[in-house]
Amino acid sequence: MLRTPPFFPSISLPHPYQFQSQRFSVKMSATSIAQQVKKVVGEAVEGKPPAHPTYDLKGVIKLALSEDAADIGDVTCKATIPVDMEVEAYFLAKEDGIVAGIALADMVFGEVDTSLKVEWTRNDGDKVHKGLQFGKVHGKAHSIVVAERVVLNFMQRMSGIATLTKAMAEAAHPACILETRKTAPGLRLVDKWAVLIGGGRNHRMGLFDMVLVKDNHISIAGGVTRALESVDHYLAQNNLQMDVEIETRTLEEVREVLQYASQTKTSLTRIMLDNMIVPLSDGDVDVSMVREAVDFIGGRFETEASGNVTLETVHKIGQSGVTYISSGALTHSVKALDISLKIDTELALEVGRRTKRA
């Protein structure tokens, strides 16, 4: 499929990418923010990132280009490549995985040069195998080389996240796999977009769209019951409606939450079972505490298991009856998928075979 990179008709920057930081804000009520984000949390919309009320994705792209080219540009290109030369470059997968970042790559190419023509034989979320050519870009050589590293940095990170997410989502079934807020600073939306592409679902986008009462909140508030009382009072007082989750670390805390909920009208929607997955010396895990907690809760609330979640343990955790399994490793310990963009693909493949990377 042939795509002309999207054009964003906003502020034009002097080439090459002299980025000037701008404060970008959207005034919305907390309730409308939560409702807008909730509409797309857990569901990938083809070609579109998850919703965020203030995130400036175009600004992130511009910043990435600016940190690479500064206000001088690519001096190597200027020295070696005629300014009007046109070439065709091909995307090459150097290992098996799930490709992600194609829609974002289109945005980067469009930001650099709207005349570039990009064609893909795979879509975000598709499998690629080592040695596969899955896309190409045609146009000015200068523009392609300037965009190359930024495009690949985004795509390799996103594809790595999507690849691990896909494996964990399939292993976790029937539970749903979630990421956390342990994302690269400045790349929250990009990382969470990659999780959606890989078949996972998004946890809260940030501090603004869900109440998540964690251990420090509980300690400061004076216990589980007092924390929940404060949350319900705050939401009612401010006429807010949003999901509420509380972290529990023991079965006694689970019982206390259930007792509070049985006696009070509460906004609570989910109970997190944190570190109730016990690692064993043989590398296995004991999920009996999670099963017991799920039995106590009895479907009255969604449940989320966290802690000691790996690709090796997630299947057993998924069989415990929990609704969700959250894993920070999806984004904080990502291994990038090896992808390159080459003009001389025959030589690239020859080198790749020599180094066992194609």
Q: Is residue 223 scored above 80 in pLDDT?
A: yes
- Give catalytic status of residue 274 as yes or no: yes
Judged by average pLDDT, the poorest of 25-34, 212-221, 275-284 is: 25-34
Q: Is residue 355 scored above 90 in pLDDT?
A: no
Active-site hit among 95, 245, 304, 338: 245
Give residue 224's pLDDT.
97
State if pTM tops 0.85.
yes
Average pLDDT over residues 344-348: 66
Active-site hit among 74, 95, 191, 274: 274
- Give catalytic status of residue 149 as yes or no: yes
Give residue 47's pLDDT.
72
Give residue 356's pLDDT.
75
Using one digit for the tens of pLDDT, what is the confidence trace for 77-97? 999 999 999 999 999 999 999
Share of the chain above pLDDT 90, in %: 81
Active-site hit among 214, 226, 300, 335: 214
- Give catalytic status of residue 127 as yes or no: no
Q: SS3 letters for the chain?
A: CEECCCCCCCCCCCCCCCCCCCCCCCCCCHHHHHHHHHHHCCCCECCECCCCCCCCHHHHHHHHHHHHHCCCCCHHHHHHCCCCCEEEEEEEECCCEECCCHHHHHHHHHHHCCCCEEEECCCCCCEECCCCEEEEEEEEHHHHHHHHHHHHHHHHHHHHHHHHHHHHHHHHCCCEEECCCCCCCCCHHHHHHHHHHCCCECCCCCCCCCEEECHHHHHHHCCHHHHHHHHHHHHHHCCCCCCEEEEECCHHHHHHHHHHHHHCCCCEEEEEEECCCEECCCCCEECHHHHHHHHHHCCCCEEEEECCCCCCCHHHHHCCCCCEEECCHHHHCCCCCCEEEECCHHHHHHHHHHCCCC
Highest mean pLDDT pick, 9-23, 43-57, 240-254: 240-254
* Cα–Cα nearest to 154, from 118, 115, 196, 106: 106
Active-site hit among 38, 117, 149, 255: 149
Tell me what the pLDDT averaged over the chain comes to. Answer: 89
Active-site hit among 117, 182, 249, 357: 182
Give residue 347's pLDDT.
65
Give residue 18's pLDDT.
37
**Tokens of residue 54, six digits:** 């203030």
**Tokens of residue 296, six digits:** 């106590």
150-187 CB burial, b ≥16 within 10 A, e <16? bbbebbbbbbbbbbbbbbbbebbeebbbbbbbebeeeb
Give residue 100's pLDDT.
98
Tell me how far apart the alpha carbons of residues 268 and 265 are, in angstroms, rounded to a whole number: 9
Q: Is residue 159 scored above 70 in pLDDT?
A: yes
pLDDT band, residue 4 (cuts 50/70/90): low
